[in-house]
Chains A and B, each alone.
Chain A
Amino acid sequence: MALKALDIYKLLPKKNCKECGDPTCLTFAMKLAGGKADVDLCPYLDDQAKAVLGATTRPPIRRVRIGVGERSFEIGEEFVLYRHEKTFFHQPGILFEVSDTQSPDEITSITKRVKDESFTRVGTDLMFSGIAVRNRSNATDSFAAAVGIVENVADLPLVLISANTAALSAALVHCGTYRPLIHAATKGNFKEMCALAKQHGCPLVIKAHQLDELAQLAKDCSAEGVQDFVMDLSPASLYEFIASSTGIRQLAITRTAPDLGYPVYLDATAGGMQDAWIALGIVKYASVIVTAPLSRASAKAALTLRQNVYTDPQKPIQMNPGLYRVGTPGKDAPVLMTVNFSLTFFTLEGYLESARIPCFMLIVDTEGLSVLTAVAAGKLNETLVLDAIRRFDVENEVSHKKLIIPGYAAPLSGRIEEATGWKVMVGPRDAAEIGDFLNEEWKR
């Protein structure tokens, strides 16, 4: 149970010395209770008090790392139910499933796909996170062999799914030092599973169908010496998933049930509704999502939703303002002005690249707002444009004084001309038409 501010206060030195940065011990206690301060800020706390407080003031959801090296990923350490309250920090790993009943070629090609496939959006490479190997055969050898194949192809984070501890043990010979996630400890087998997880230092999925059983299992497994858990509620319907996952998040962040303070695991392979499971997993707090390999369409939509939901709502992804080159533009190349919202920049840049006309992009600081939004909010104006032309020395980069502005910024064209002395050409609204525009209007 979470400690109340008054309980915490009783454990503090009551010096009111302000060294923690708070005016009194009591206000410090209130912050601790809300998870908004660190016990170490008070230099006078004795070890015993620290031990008691540490447990209740650690992140409400434990951070767990899966895999090692470049592709490893961290989950957990989340603090809010709604992304707008702060942000969501650790996006869920989405892993493609292979089975030890598949041929080595199939396993190899799925693994290669996860290793190599990436989809670039807004300047970021979006990729799937790893491979889940399922012991469908229930045999020990073939499971170990399948894991061996995956390991040979790529160093990807793994989930090892088996109820057979002997099979897991054999597989862990191949990958035990790479922190695979082991699936799953249950009421019936947790002792053996914990022994394996401990021996290899791996995170462990704990699985039960009720929240209170899960909390008990977390306690039992902790007693066995394992700390890094991911929780699987094996929901029977999408409804059950939303209800239990929301319940876990709420109970954990309010510290009502610290034993549920672990990331959530979701098996999206069930029931022919992969897209639905994945979409819900992303928005409703799943941290590890296992799915059959996705079609191109589903892959793009899933990765995009994950990117959207896990961007910080307080700061849009921005570019540094400046003069950017597309190709190797000469002194007579066109200059296109746009905003510093990354999505806008990369959208426009993509079309300019495919138009194959070397040019300059002049990025104005609109605090990360898109063209239309910036125009509507008054964050794009002639002063900013003039400032950018000067700051980035555009007059010396090109031998003309013509500036192409976005179609949506047309209402500003007169004022920009006046303030800068440059001739303004209003481009199309849709960047897809930029190639045609340049060919017709610029090259003439």
Chain B
Amino acid sequence: MGFDLRFGWTGPIGGVTLGATRSEGGTRRVSYRIGGGSTLPFLDSNSSFSSPLIAFEICDNPVFWPPIVRNYCGDLVNNVEDWAKTADSTYGADMIRLYLTSTRQRNFSDIPAVGKAVEAVLSATSLPLIIEGSNEPKIDSEVFQRCGEVAQGERLLLGTAEANRYRSIAAAALAYNHSLIAQSPIDVNLAKQLNILLREIGVLRDHIVIDPYTGTLGYGFEYSYSAMERIRFSALKGDTDLAMPMICSPADTLTIKEVREAESAVQDEMAATWEFYTGLAAAVAGAEIICVRHPETVGKLRLAFTSMKNGTGSAQVR
């Protein structure tokens, strides 16, 4: 006697390609195809299914970065190239996410520097990249344009489009064939709405990664967890406007009280553990890119994802 587990799903999650190898017109040593799932996360019977990607976040002006990472990484944080290289070869990330925090200075206008930072990271690592542009509508257009241009052919993931701020980033993504992150505040309907807006101005479904916004563990994570589950559920039930892969970036994790106030001897462990619990739970809810800032989180997640892959034991549920 066996049990037949049926959920009645109708539609798969759409795929998105990140990065481009030489044969694909870029210079990356790998490219990833995320999405494609046809049931709940980690239950796909196809054992070739890839694990969630682990993206390590760095920035080009560390003033805006959590002190705990600055302490742990030391001098590296002052040099995006070395930092990106280390994230690739030592921390073992799948992707690098560069935040252009330098643009957050008042009246920032050094657009060429933006291009240089992106180029520097492109040459420091051959992993696919996520580039997080400006935070300031006034310079969005120029910043995204420049990022898109210097990385033409590399299939970047550009961040971050929001309901009231998506045109500049979409324009750059369209012009240079990059994908983009669409962020909405923890709500399945808002996520859908933004995807429709993007589609209306020409962004294709297979160029969108949904960011449902991750509240950190203990500070709103339960809402994000459920928003992700709902998005995945709606997608599997056939809503193509939500059938995109998701990204989880629990950016506030390293500044919460539990981490900030931990005794210094256990602070790194606290940070990595907090990121790990958040990232793992988000992956189970449907996120396919998990962003982290503490180097020690990368290996912990990697180990778990390996054991979460089908084929690591005899499957019992179809």
Question: Knowing A84-B230, A235-B313, A273-B307 touch, does A257 contact B43 (C-beta < 8 A)?
Answer: no
- Chain B residue total in the interface (Cβ 8 A): 51
> How distant is the Cα of A304 from the Cα of B42 in the complex, in angstroms?
24
Question: Knowing A247-B3, A300-B270 touch, does A239 contact B42 (C-beta < 8 A)?
Answer: yes
Verify A246–B40 contact, CB threshold 8 A.
Answer: yes
* A300: B residues at CB distance < 8 A: 258, 270, 273
The distance from the CB of B199 to the nearest CB of chain A, in whole angstroms, is 25
B222 at the A interface (CB under 8 A): yes
* A343: B residues at CB distance < 8 A: 218-219
Nearest to A213 among chain B residues (CB) is B1
* B220: A residues at CB distance < 8 A: 370
Question: Knowing A275-B273, A276-B304, A300-B258 touch, does A239 contact B226 (C-beta < 8 A)?
Answer: no
The 8 closest A-B pairs by CB, nearest first: A247-B317, A236-B313, A276-B304, A237-B312, A308-B222, A238-B307, A237-B313, A84-B226
9 CB-based A-B contacts, threshold 8 Å: A82-B230, A82-B233, A244-B317, A276-B303, A279-B280, A297-B270, A305-B281, A343-B219, A432-B260
* B272: A residues at CB distance < 8 A: 297
> How distant is the Cα of A282 from the Cα of B257 in the complex, in angstroms?
23
Nearest to A303 among chain B residues (CB) is B218
Verify A295–B266 contact, CB threshold 8 A.
Answer: yes
A361 at the B interface (CB under 8 A): no
Instruction: Digitize B304-318: 1 where CB-to-A-CB distance is under 8 Å, 0 elsewhere.
Output: 100111111111110
Verify A250–B7 contact, CB threshold 8 A.
Answer: yes
Nearest to B262 among chain A residues (CB) is A297
Q: Which residues of B contact A (CB under 8 A)?
A: 1-3, 5, 7, 40, 42-43, 185, 217-223, 225-226, 229-230, 233, 257-258, 260, 262, 266, 269-270, 272-274, 276-277, 280-281, 284-285, 300, 303-304, 307-317
Verify A211–B273 contact, CB threshold 8 A.
Answer: no
* B312: A residues at CB distance < 8 A: 236-240
Verify B43–A211 contact, CB threshold 8 A.
Answer: no
> How distant is the Cα of A305 from the Cα of B285 in the complex, in angstroms?
13
Verify B304–A238 contact, CB threshold 8 A.
Answer: yes
Question: Knowing A280-B284, A305-B217, A308-B222 touch, does A237 contact B307 (C-beta < 8 A)?
Answer: yes
> How distant is the Cα of A244 from the Cα of B313 in the complex, in angstroms?
12
Verify B1–A212 contact, CB threshold 8 A.
Answer: yes
Instruction: Digitize A224-257: 1 where CB-to-B-CB distance is under 8 Å, 0 elsewhere.
Output: 0000000001011111101110110011000011
Verify B2–A212 contact, CB threshold 8 A.
Answer: yes
> A246 touches which one: B222, B225, B269, B317 (CB < 8 A)?
B317
A309 at the B interface (CB under 8 A): yes
Counting residue pairs across A and B whose Cβ atoms lie within 8 Å, the total is 160
> How distant is the Cα of A242 from the Cα of B51 in the complex, in angstroms?
14
The distance from the CB of A250 to the nearest CB of chain B, in whole angstroms, is 6
* B270: A residues at CB distance < 8 A: 296-297, 300-301
* B316: A residues at CB distance < 8 A: 209-211, 233, 240, 243-244, 247
The distance from the CB of B70 to the nearest CB of chain A, in whole angstroms, is 18
The distance from the CB of A82 to the nearest CB of chain B, in whole angstroms, is 5
Output the residue of A82, A209, A256, A295 with the most chain B CB within 10 A: A82
Which residues of A in the span 363-404 have a Cβ within 8 Å of any Cβ on B? 370, 376
Verify A296–B266 contact, CB threshold 8 A.
Answer: yes
Verify B280–A280 contact, CB threshold 8 A.
Answer: yes
Verify A242–B284 contact, CB threshold 8 A.
Answer: yes
* B5: A residues at CB distance < 8 A: 246-247, 250-251
> How distant is the Cα of A242 from the Cα of B300 in the complex, in angstroms?
18
A269 at the B interface (CB under 8 A): no
Nearest to B219 among chain A residues (CB) is A343
Instruction: Digitize A347-375: 1 where CB-to-B-CB distance is under 8 Å, 0 elsewhere.
Output: 10010000000000000000000100000
The distance from the CB of B260 to the nearest CB of chain A, in whole angstroms, is 8
Q: Which residues of A contact B (CB under 8 A)?
A: 82-84, 121, 209-212, 215, 233, 235-240, 242-244, 246-247, 250-251, 256-257, 260, 271, 273, 275-276, 279-280, 282-284, 295-298, 300-302, 304-305, 307-309, 311, 313, 343, 347, 350, 370, 376, 432
Verify A276–B307 contact, CB threshold 8 A.
Answer: yes
Question: Knowing A273-B303, A295-B266, A313-B223 touch, does A211 contact B280 (C-beta < 8 A)?
Answer: no
The distance from the CB of A351 to the nearest CB of chain B, in whole angstroms, is 9
> How distant is the Cα of A51 from the Cα of B13 in the complex, in angstroms?
45
> How distant is the Cα of A275 from the Cα of B219 in the complex, in angstroms?
20
User: Can you name 16 extra interface pairs (CB under 8 A) apart from A276-B280, A280-B284, A305-B217?
Assistant: A82-B229, A212-B2, A212-B3, A215-B3, A239-B42, A240-B316, A242-B308, A250-B5, A251-B5, A275-B280, A276-B308, A295-B273, A300-B270, A304-B277, A308-B221, A376-B185
* B223: A residues at CB distance < 8 A: 313
Verify B307–A304 contact, CB threshold 8 A.
Answer: no
Nearest to B230 among chain A residues (CB) is A84
The distance from the CB of A8 to the nearest CB of chain B, in whole angstroms, is 22
* A235: B residues at CB distance < 8 A: 313
Nearest to B315 among chain A residues (CB) is A243
The distance from the CB of B257 to the nearest CB of chain A, in whole angstroms, is 7
> B281 touches which one: A256, A283, A370 (CB < 8 A)?
A283
> A242 touches which one: B43, B222, B226 (CB < 8 A)?
B43
